[in-house]
Chain A
C-alpha cells in the first residue's frame, strides 16, 4: 500500500493538468445497470404483502417491512394513555426538530420522541451543506432542473417545486436562529458546488454544517420548552375506528416500559436505512438507522415509493478499519482531489454524480482489477487529497476539510501528505414513504418528512438536497399538522390493524423478525445456552 502511494505521487503532476471526460448519456445507463448495487438481482426481492406488494426492495428491508409487531394488542390497555397531544413527532434529527418547532409555533401541543438523544441522527454528521438558490445568477428553476436531472427525471415534480422554492427561506430561518453560515465579510453567503449541480449553491458551516444546524435546533427545542422523550422508541402506531392515525406506542429502551400516546397527527421523521448494511456494505449512517418509520407506516397501509433505490456514497473510508465506511465529504473532490487507481491513473471524472462515480469505482475494482488491497482484506481506490493544497494553496485542506483531517490524524494519517483509500459505502435511501407537498402520507393523520419520505429526490439524491429536504418539509409538516389537529375528530382508539397485519402475514410471521429493528446487532453474541426454565429468570432475553 505504501509503495503504491509512490505511484500516485509520481503521476500527480501530470494529472493536475488532466481533466477526465464526462460520460455520455448511453455510457451512464450501461454503467449503472452493470455495476450499481441497486441492480444486483440477488440483493432484492419482491414484497409479498402490504401496499407495495410485488415491488422490489433490498432483502434486509423486505424482512423488516414484512416483520411481526412487537405488540400483542390483547395485552395493551388503550385507555391508559400517558400523553394526549395534538402532534407526535417521531425522530428528533433535522426534520423532526423542524416539524416540532413549527407545529408548536402554529399552536399545537407537541410531543417529540426519539429512540436515542434529542438531535441524534444522520443530520448531525452531515458535512457538505444545504442547497438553496439564492444568488443573483441562480434561481429555483435552475435548482429544479439540477434536481430532476440528478434524480434521473423520476422525481415527483410538485415535491421538487416545493423543495426549491422554499429553499432560500429555510436558509433564512436557520440564519435567524443563529446558525453561523460561512459568509463573506459583507454578510453574503459563501456557496459551493458539488456533483450534478450547475450553480454554486451549497451553504455550509465549514465541514460541520449538520452539527451546527442540530446544535441550534436542539437548543431551540429546549428554549421553547417542547416536551421530548429520549431513548423512547416508537414500535407501533395506534389508529382509530375511522382508520385515522391516532397516536403511537413507545418503548423505553432502557426499562422496556410502554408509553401510550394519543395524538391527532403523527409525523414520522425516523431517518435512514444505513444500519441494515444492505448487501453487506459498510455505512456512513448513524447508529440506529434501521428504517423504523417505513415499517410503522407500511403496517398501517401507507404507500411507499422507489423502495428499490439506495444511494451509495462513492468515497467511504476503506482504510483504516476503525473508520470503515465513514463519509469522506464530496468537498474533497470539489476542491480538486482526484480518484486514482493502482496504476496511478485517473479513471473517472472526480466530480460526477454519486451513483455514476460509485458504479465506476466498483467496476474499476471488481472488473478491471485496478483497486488497491487494504491490509485488512478490503479493497479501495485512492482519493488523492494532497492535490487540494497543491491547487488551492497550503492550508486549504486544514481549513475546508477540518474534520476529515482531524479524524485521519487520530489514526496517524496526514491527508495533506498522503492519499487515502476509499470505496463506496451505503449512504442514503432515495425513496421512502410517499408524501404530498405537506408531508401527508396516504393514511389520514400520518405524515412523513426527511429521509424516511420519498419522491423528492427521485432515484438519486443530489448532495446538499437532503438537509434542505429536512427543513423544508419538516417546517411544512409542522404547519400542516398543527392545522390538521385543529380540524380532525378522533374516534375510538384501536390496535386492530396489528391483528389484521399478523393475519395477513400468515405463515410469513414464523420466518420474519420482529420489526421495527430499533438498533443494529453489532455486539458479539454468545451462542444460546438457555434452558427452558431460565427464560426470563435473570432478566436477560
Chain B
C-alpha cells in the first residue's frame, strides 16, 4: 500500500509480506491457490498496467507496488434451490442487473484464474447454464471481478448460482446412490456390520488381509 520494503528474492508476495513483518489476519488462507483469500492487485514502476493475482501464487518482482483486497461488497441473491428453476429467466429474476453488463471485459482481465468471465456472463444472459458451469469451474471466489465491474455486478455469485442449478437440475441424479440408500435404510447391511463390530482383532485382521481388491 505504498510503503517500500526490501525482501529476499524468490518469495511469494504472501511470504514477502510476512518477511516484512506483517502478521496477516485478512488476506491469507490456504497458501496454495484454492481459497481466494489473498486477492492482490499490483503494478510495476515502469509498467502502470494493473495485474490481478493471488499473493500465494506469484513471486515478488522488483518495484512491485501492491495492495491486497481481502473483501469487497458484492450482491448475492437469497434463494431456495428447491424452489427455483434452471432457466435464463430465473437467473435474471435473481440477478436483474445482469442485463446492464456492457461486455467491457474488465472482469476477465481481473481474474487470477484466467477464466473467461465475460464469456460466462454472456452465457448467463443467454440462459446457457451448462456453459457457465463449465467456464467458471475453477473460480475460487476471490472477488476481484466484482471489484472491477463498473456496473457493480458480482460475476462469481452469478456463476455459483448457475453451477448449483446445473448440478441440481441439469444433470441426472445418481440412481445407484438412491438404491443403496434405500437398502441401508431397510437394514440390509445391519447384520454384517454388527458381526464386524463384535469381531476380535485377530479375526478382523484376517478378513482384512483376505480382501478382494478391485483394480484401481
Which A residues contact B (CB, under 8 angstroms)? 25, 116-117, 119-120, 124-125, 133-137, 139-142, 144-146, 148-149, 153, 157-158, 161, 164-165, 168-169, 171-172, 175-181, 183, 186-189, 192-193, 198-200, 206, 208, 210-211, 215-216, 219-220, 222-223, 225, 231, 253-254, 286-287, 321-323, 326-327, 334, 351, 402-403, 406-407, 410-411, 519, 521-526
- Does residue B33 face the partner (Cβ distance < 8 Å to A)? yes
Closest chain A CB from B89 CB (angstroms): 18
Chain B residues contacting A134 (CB-CB under 8 Å) are: 174, 176-177, 180-181
Closest chain B CB from A518 CB (angstroms): 10
Number of interface residues of B (CB under 8 A): 72
Determine which of A117, A136, A406 lies in contact with B37 in the assembled complex, contact meaning CB atoms within 8 Å: A117
- Does residue B173 face the partner (Cβ distance < 8 Å to A)? yes
Closest chain A CB from B129 CB (angstroms): 11
A287 to B15, CA, bound (A): 13
Q: Which residue of B lies closest to A122 (CB)?
A: B30
Determine which of A136, A178, A211 lies in contact with B168 in the assembled complex, contact meaning CB atoms within 8 Å: A178
- Does residue B101 face the partner (Cβ distance < 8 Å to A)? no
Chain A residues contacting B176 (CB-CB under 8 Å) are: 134-136, 188-189
A351 to B216, CA, bound (A): 10
Q: Is the interface of B mostly helix, strand, loop or mixed?
A: loop
Chain A residues contacting B35 (CB-CB under 8 Å) are: 119-120, 124-125, 211, 286
Within 8 A of A (CB), among B23-79: 23-26, 28-35, 37, 57-59, 76, 78-79
5 contacts between A and B (CB under 8 A): A157-B196, A198-B211, A220-B81, A410-B57, A523-B21
Which B residues contact A (CB, under 8 angstroms)? 10-12, 15, 17-26, 28-35, 37, 57-59, 76, 78-81, 133, 137-141, 160, 163-168, 171-181, 184, 189, 192-193, 196-197, 201, 204-205, 207-209, 211-214, 216
Q: Nearest 3 A-B pairs (CB), nearest first?
A: A187-B172, A178-B164, A149-B208
Check A176–B184 contact: CB distance below 8 A.
no
Closest chain A CB from B147 CB (angstroms): 16
Determine which of B20, B34, B211 lies in contact with A145 in the assembled complex, contact meaning CB atoms within 8 Å: B211
Check B177–A189 contact: CB distance below 8 A.
yes
Closest chain A CB from B40 CB (angstroms): 14
A452 to B3, CA, bound (A): 40
Chain A residues contacting B17 (CB-CB under 8 Å) are: 523
Determine which of A142, A189, A210, A322 lies in contact with B12 in the assembled complex, contact meaning CB atoms within 8 Å: A322
Given A188-B174, A286-B29; 14 other pairs, CB 8 A cutoff: A117-B29, A135-B176, A136-B176, A141-B193, A153-B201, A178-B164, A186-B172, A215-B139, A223-B79, A287-B28, A323-B32, A519-B24, A523-B18, A524-B20
